[in-house]
Amino acid sequence: MNQEKTISCCCVLDASTYVGFWILKRLLTRGYSVHAAIRKNGESVLEEKIRDMEANEERLEVYDVDVLDYQSILISLNNCNAVFCCLDNPEGYDEEKEVDLEVRGAINVVEACARTESIEKIVFSSSLTAAIWRDNIGTQKDVDEKCWSDLDFCLKKKLWHALAKTQSEKAAWALAMDRMVNMVSVNPGLIVGPSVAQHNPRPTMSYLKGAAQMYENGVLAYVDVEFVADVHIRAFEDTSACGRYFCFNQIVNTEEEALKLVQTLSPLIPMPPSYNI
Protein backbone atom coordinates (compact mmCIF):
# COMPACT_ATOMS: atom_id res chain seq x y z
CA MET A 1 0.00 0.00 0.00
CA ASN A 2 1.22 3.49 -0.84
CA GLN A 3 2.24 5.59 2.10
CA GLU A 4 0.07 8.70 2.54
CA LYS A 5 0.67 12.11 4.04
CA THR A 6 -0.55 13.01 7.49
CA ILE A 7 -2.76 16.08 7.89
CA SER A 8 -0.73 19.25 7.37
CA CYS A 9 -0.88 22.83 6.11
CA CYS A 10 -1.22 23.55 2.41
CA CYS A 11 -1.10 26.68 0.28
CA VAL A 12 -3.47 27.11 -2.66
CA LEU A 13 -2.22 29.74 -5.11
CA ASP A 14 -4.38 31.21 -6.67
CA ALA A 15 -7.26 30.11 -4.44
CA SER A 16 -9.69 32.47 -6.20
CA THR A 17 -9.43 30.56 -9.50
CA TYR A 18 -12.22 28.09 -10.18
CA VAL A 19 -10.02 25.02 -9.60
CA GLY A 20 -8.17 26.65 -6.71
CA PHE A 21 -11.43 27.43 -4.93
CA TRP A 22 -12.60 23.82 -5.12
CA ILE A 23 -9.21 22.49 -3.98
CA LEU A 24 -9.45 24.88 -1.03
CA LYS A 25 -12.93 23.62 -0.14
CA ARG A 26 -11.93 19.96 -0.38
CA LEU A 27 -8.78 20.51 1.71
CA LEU A 28 -10.80 22.11 4.51
CA THR A 29 -13.31 19.25 4.36
CA ARG A 30 -10.46 16.78 4.78
CA GLY A 31 -9.13 18.57 7.87
CA TYR A 32 -6.18 20.48 6.41
CA SER A 33 -5.14 23.97 7.43
CA VAL A 34 -5.02 26.15 4.32
CA HIS A 35 -3.25 29.31 3.23
CA ALA A 36 -5.44 30.81 0.51
CA ALA A 37 -3.12 32.92 -1.63
CA ILE A 38 -5.13 35.31 -3.79
CA ARG A 39 -3.72 37.39 -6.61
CA LYS A 40 -4.71 41.03 -6.94
CA ASN A 41 -7.05 40.61 -9.91
CA GLY A 42 -9.82 42.84 -8.64
CA GLU A 43 -12.81 41.64 -6.65
CA SER A 44 -14.37 38.37 -7.76
CA VAL A 45 -17.27 36.30 -6.47
CA LEU A 46 -14.96 33.48 -5.43
CA GLU A 47 -12.59 35.87 -3.65
CA GLU A 48 -15.50 37.27 -1.68
CA LYS A 49 -16.59 33.75 -0.76
CA ILE A 50 -13.10 32.91 0.48
CA ARG A 51 -12.86 36.05 2.62
CA ASP A 52 -16.27 35.26 4.10
CA MET A 53 -15.09 31.69 4.83
CA GLU A 54 -11.98 33.03 6.61
CA ALA A 55 -14.19 34.82 9.16
CA ASN A 56 -15.75 31.50 10.20
CA GLU A 57 -12.97 28.97 9.59
CA GLU A 58 -9.99 29.01 11.97
CA ARG A 59 -7.97 26.69 9.71
CA LEU A 60 -8.10 29.16 6.81
CA GLU A 61 -5.79 32.16 6.35
CA VAL A 62 -5.98 34.48 3.35
CA TYR A 63 -2.86 36.05 1.81
CA ASP A 64 -2.71 38.69 -0.92
CA VAL A 65 0.00 37.79 -3.41
CA ASP A 66 1.44 39.05 -6.67
CA VAL A 67 3.02 36.22 -8.68
CA LEU A 68 5.60 38.71 -9.96
CA ASP A 69 6.47 39.65 -6.36
CA TYR A 70 8.63 36.80 -5.12
CA GLN A 71 8.52 37.95 -1.48
CA SER A 72 4.72 37.92 -1.33
CA ILE A 73 4.76 34.29 -2.48
CA LEU A 74 7.32 33.36 0.18
CA ILE A 75 5.13 34.84 2.91
CA SER A 76 2.09 32.80 1.81
CA LEU A 77 4.16 29.57 1.89
CA ASN A 78 5.32 29.97 5.48
CA ASN A 79 4.94 26.67 7.42
CA CYS A 80 3.18 24.94 4.48
CA ASN A 81 3.98 21.39 3.40
CA ALA A 82 2.47 21.58 -0.07
CA VAL A 83 1.55 24.12 -2.72
CA PHE A 84 -1.30 23.69 -5.15
CA CYS A 85 -0.29 26.02 -7.98
CA CYS A 86 -3.37 27.13 -9.98
CA LEU A 87 -2.46 30.09 -12.17
CA ASP A 88 -5.47 30.36 -14.50
CA ASN A 89 -5.94 33.90 -15.74
CA PRO A 90 -9.50 34.97 -14.78
CA GLU A 91 -9.57 37.28 -17.81
CA GLY A 92 -8.90 34.38 -20.17
CA TYR A 93 -6.15 34.14 -22.75
CA ASP A 94 -6.38 36.54 -25.68
CA GLU A 95 -2.81 37.77 -26.08
CA GLU A 96 0.78 36.63 -25.78
CA LYS A 97 1.38 38.92 -22.78
CA GLU A 98 -0.93 36.70 -20.69
CA VAL A 99 1.26 33.74 -21.61
CA ASP A 100 4.38 35.54 -20.39
CA LEU A 101 2.71 36.47 -17.10
CA GLU A 102 1.75 32.86 -16.41
CA VAL A 103 5.24 31.57 -17.22
CA ARG A 104 6.91 34.14 -14.95
CA GLY A 105 4.42 33.33 -12.20
CA ALA A 106 5.11 29.60 -12.45
CA ILE A 107 8.85 30.19 -12.23
CA ASN A 108 8.47 32.40 -9.16
CA VAL A 109 6.25 29.89 -7.39
CA VAL A 110 8.68 27.01 -7.97
CA GLU A 111 11.67 29.11 -6.92
CA ALA A 112 9.85 30.22 -3.76
CA CYS A 113 9.08 26.57 -2.96
CA ALA A 114 12.74 25.67 -3.44
CA ARG A 115 13.63 28.27 -0.81
CA THR A 116 10.96 27.16 1.68
CA GLU A 117 12.25 24.28 3.82
CA SER A 118 8.81 23.05 4.88
CA ILE A 119 7.58 22.45 1.31
CA GLU A 120 7.46 18.74 0.45
CA LYS A 121 5.65 18.85 -2.89
CA ILE A 122 4.22 21.13 -5.55
CA VAL A 123 1.03 20.00 -7.26
CA PHE A 124 1.03 22.03 -10.45
CA SER A 125 -2.34 22.52 -12.14
CA SER A 126 -1.82 22.54 -15.90
CA SER A 127 -4.17 21.48 -18.70
CA LEU A 128 -4.76 18.86 -21.34
CA THR A 129 -4.20 21.67 -23.85
CA ALA A 130 -0.51 21.46 -22.92
CA ALA A 131 -0.39 18.07 -24.65
CA ILE A 132 -2.78 17.90 -27.61
CA TRP A 133 -1.90 20.63 -30.10
CA ARG A 134 0.43 19.97 -33.05
CA ASP A 135 0.34 19.89 -36.85
CA ASN A 136 -0.23 16.13 -37.01
CA ILE A 137 -2.84 15.96 -34.26
CA GLY A 138 -5.14 13.89 -36.49
CA THR A 139 -2.52 11.24 -37.33
CA GLN A 140 -1.12 10.58 -33.86
CA LYS A 141 -2.57 7.35 -32.46
CA ASP A 142 -2.24 8.12 -28.76
CA VAL A 143 -2.02 11.23 -26.65
CA ASP A 144 -0.39 10.44 -23.33
CA GLU A 145 1.64 12.04 -20.55
CA LYS A 146 4.77 12.10 -22.72
CA CYS A 147 3.08 14.42 -25.24
CA TRP A 148 3.51 18.18 -25.35
CA SER A 149 1.75 20.74 -27.49
CA ASP A 150 3.94 22.26 -30.18
CA LEU A 151 4.77 25.86 -29.22
CA ASP A 152 5.18 27.11 -32.79
CA PHE A 153 1.85 25.57 -33.80
CA CYS A 154 0.09 27.20 -30.83
CA LEU A 155 1.65 30.56 -31.62
CA LYS A 156 0.73 30.31 -35.33
CA LYS A 157 -2.89 29.42 -34.51
CA LYS A 158 -3.08 31.89 -31.61
CA LEU A 159 -3.99 29.14 -29.16
CA TRP A 160 -3.04 31.30 -26.19
CA HIS A 161 -4.50 29.00 -23.53
CA ALA A 162 -2.52 26.04 -24.84
CA LEU A 163 0.61 28.16 -25.22
CA ALA A 164 0.35 29.49 -21.66
CA LYS A 165 -0.21 26.04 -20.16
CA THR A 166 2.55 24.40 -22.20
CA GLN A 167 5.18 27.03 -21.56
CA SER A 168 4.37 27.49 -17.87
CA GLU A 169 4.33 23.76 -17.15
CA LYS A 170 7.58 23.19 -19.06
CA ALA A 171 9.22 26.07 -17.20
CA ALA A 172 7.97 24.72 -13.86
CA TRP A 173 9.28 21.23 -14.61
CA ALA A 174 12.68 22.52 -15.74
CA LEU A 175 13.17 24.62 -12.62
CA ALA A 176 11.76 21.96 -10.27
CA MET A 177 14.24 19.41 -11.60
CA ASP A 178 17.11 21.89 -11.45
CA ARG A 179 16.27 22.89 -7.87
CA MET A 180 15.38 19.30 -6.85
CA VAL A 181 11.83 20.22 -5.87
CA ASN A 182 9.30 17.38 -5.71
CA MET A 183 6.57 18.22 -8.23
CA VAL A 184 3.55 16.52 -9.79
CA SER A 185 1.37 18.03 -12.50
CA VAL A 186 -2.34 17.45 -13.09
CA ASN A 187 -3.55 18.10 -16.63
CA PRO A 188 -7.35 18.26 -16.68
CA GLY A 189 -9.58 18.51 -19.71
CA LEU A 190 -12.13 21.29 -19.96
CA ILE A 191 -13.35 21.87 -16.41
CA VAL A 192 -17.09 21.92 -15.77
CA GLY A 193 -19.08 22.03 -12.56
CA PRO A 194 -21.28 24.19 -10.33
CA SER A 195 -21.75 27.74 -11.68
CA VAL A 196 -18.81 27.34 -14.09
CA ALA A 197 -20.41 29.77 -16.57
CA GLN A 198 -20.56 32.45 -13.86
CA HIS A 199 -17.31 31.74 -12.02
CA ASN A 200 -14.95 30.71 -14.83
CA PRO A 201 -16.31 32.07 -18.13
CA ARG A 202 -13.24 33.46 -19.87
CA PRO A 203 -10.76 30.64 -19.14
CA THR A 204 -13.47 28.22 -20.30
CA MET A 205 -13.90 29.99 -23.62
CA SER A 206 -10.12 30.26 -24.04
CA TYR A 207 -9.83 26.48 -23.57
CA LEU A 208 -12.49 25.94 -26.24
CA LYS A 209 -10.65 27.81 -28.98
CA GLY A 210 -10.16 25.14 -31.61
CA ALA A 211 -12.93 22.99 -30.12
CA ALA A 212 -14.09 21.79 -33.55
CA GLN A 213 -10.65 20.39 -34.34
CA MET A 214 -10.42 18.82 -30.86
CA TYR A 215 -13.79 17.16 -31.45
CA GLU A 216 -12.79 15.87 -34.90
CA ASN A 217 -9.61 14.33 -33.52
CA GLY A 218 -11.10 12.77 -30.39
CA VAL A 219 -9.32 14.97 -27.85
CA LEU A 220 -12.21 17.18 -26.69
CA ALA A 221 -12.43 15.97 -23.09
CA TYR A 222 -14.02 17.43 -19.99
CA VAL A 223 -14.05 16.76 -16.28
CA ASP A 224 -16.00 17.76 -13.17
CA VAL A 225 -14.21 20.30 -10.98
CA GLU A 226 -14.81 18.34 -7.75
CA PHE A 227 -13.12 15.29 -9.28
CA VAL A 228 -10.23 17.49 -10.43
CA ALA A 229 -9.82 18.91 -6.92
CA ASP A 230 -9.74 15.41 -5.41
CA VAL A 231 -7.11 14.30 -7.95
CA HIS A 232 -4.89 17.24 -7.00
CA ILE A 233 -5.15 16.38 -3.31
CA ARG A 234 -4.52 12.69 -3.95
CA ALA A 235 -1.41 13.65 -5.94
CA PHE A 236 -0.09 15.32 -2.79
CA GLU A 237 -1.16 12.67 -0.32
CA ASP A 238 0.20 9.70 -2.28
CA THR A 239 3.96 9.71 -1.81
CA SER A 240 4.42 7.51 -4.89
CA ALA A 241 2.77 10.08 -7.20
CA CYS A 242 5.17 11.53 -9.76
CA GLY A 243 5.21 13.02 -13.24
CA ARG A 244 2.13 14.17 -15.15
CA TYR A 245 -1.47 12.97 -14.75
CA PHE A 246 -4.14 13.53 -17.41
CA CYS A 247 -7.53 14.00 -15.81
CA PHE A 248 -10.95 13.74 -17.51
CA ASN A 249 -14.34 12.04 -17.11
CA GLN A 250 -15.65 12.18 -20.65
CA ILE A 251 -14.40 12.43 -24.22
CA VAL A 252 -16.82 14.04 -26.65
CA ASN A 253 -17.15 11.66 -29.62
CA THR A 254 -20.75 12.11 -30.77
CA GLU A 255 -23.14 14.95 -31.55
CA GLU A 256 -25.25 13.89 -28.58
CA GLU A 257 -22.24 14.21 -26.25
CA ALA A 258 -21.35 17.58 -27.80
CA LEU A 259 -24.89 18.82 -27.15
CA LYS A 260 -24.67 17.65 -23.55
CA LEU A 261 -21.46 19.67 -23.12
CA VAL A 262 -23.11 22.76 -24.64
CA GLN A 263 -25.99 22.39 -22.19
CA THR A 264 -23.52 22.09 -19.32
CA LEU A 265 -21.83 25.34 -20.34
CA SER A 266 -25.03 27.32 -20.99
CA PRO A 267 -25.28 30.29 -21.38
CA LEU A 268 -21.60 30.61 -22.38
CA ILE A 269 -22.32 28.70 -25.58
CA PRO A 270 -25.73 29.25 -27.20
CA MET A 271 -27.87 26.20 -27.86
CA PRO A 272 -28.43 25.34 -31.55
CA PRO A 273 -31.78 26.87 -32.69
CA SER A 274 -33.34 23.46 -33.35
CA TYR A 275 -32.87 22.53 -29.70
CA ASN A 276 -34.29 25.71 -28.18
CA ILE A 277 -37.81 25.42 -26.81
258: enclosing H helix or E strand: helix 255-265
Q: What angle do CA 26, 193, 252 make, to 5 degrees?
A: 125
Annotated catalytic residue, options 158, 165, 209, 260: 165
pLDDT tens track for 203-252: 999 999 999 999 998 999 999 999 999 999 999 999 999 999 999 999 99
Q: Within a domain: residue 55?
A: yes
| Contacts of the segment 3-7: beta carbons below 8 A, 24+ positions apart | 3/239, 3/240, 4/237, 4/238, 4/239, 5/81, 5/82, 5/120, 5/236, 5/237, 5/239, 7/31, 7/32
pTM: 0.92
pLDDT tens track for 117-140: 999 999 999 999 999 999 877 666
Q: Within a domain: residue 61?
A: yes
Q: Within a domain: residue 266?
A: no
- Catalytic annotation on 165? yes
3-state secondary structure of 214: helix
Q: Within a domain: residue 214?
A: no
Domain interval for residue 166? 9-189+222-247
CB distance 113 to 83 below 8 Å: yes
Number of domain units in the chain: 1
Tell me the average pLDDT across 246-271: 89
CATH number (domain holding residue 125): 3.40.50.720
Tell me the average pLDDT across 77-84: 96
3-state secondary structure of 77: helix
Among candidate residues 152, 137, 21, 26, the one with its CA nearest the CA of residue 90:
21
CA–CA separation, 277 vs 89, rounded Å?
A: 35
